[in-house]
């Protein structure tokens, strides 16, 4: 009976495993200062190449700077 349960639940367990791994990668990327800085540079390049307007640039820059500030505060809190 347990073998049949394992066989039937294997796809579900695989999806749960993948979901956990994807979540780990997203959390790591969202808490990495380097990736945020890269996104800021890419945003500035898009603005300079006239791919986005100033309003969109300002909005996205504010979001990224707030995220960067949050990451830095969290790291300072962990160090104490």
Q: What is the pLDDT of residues 42-73, one digit of tens each?
A: 999 999 999 999 999 999 999 999 989 988 88
Per-residue pLDDT band for 75 (boundaries 50, 70, 90) equals: confident
Are the beta carbons of 36 and 46 closer than 8 angstroms? no
This model's pTM is above 0.75: no
Are the beta carbons of 69 and 37 closer than 8 angstroms? no
Largest alpha-carbon pair distance within the chain? 64
Residue 14: pLDDT over 90: no
Sorted by where each begins, the domain ranges of the chain are 1-30, 32-80
- Determine the Cα–Cα distance for residues 42 and 12; give it in Å rounded to an integer: 38
């Amino acid at each position: 009976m347990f073998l049949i349960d394992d066989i039937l639940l294997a796809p579900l367990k695989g999806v749960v495993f993948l979901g956990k791994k994807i979540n780990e990668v997203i959390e790591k990327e969202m808490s990495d200062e380097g990736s945020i800085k890269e996104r800021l540079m890419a945003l500035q390049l898009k603005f300079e190449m006239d791919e986005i307007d100033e309003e969109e640039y300002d909005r996205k820059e504010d979001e990224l700077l707030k995220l960067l500030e949050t990451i830095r505060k969290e790291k300072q809190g962990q160090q104490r």
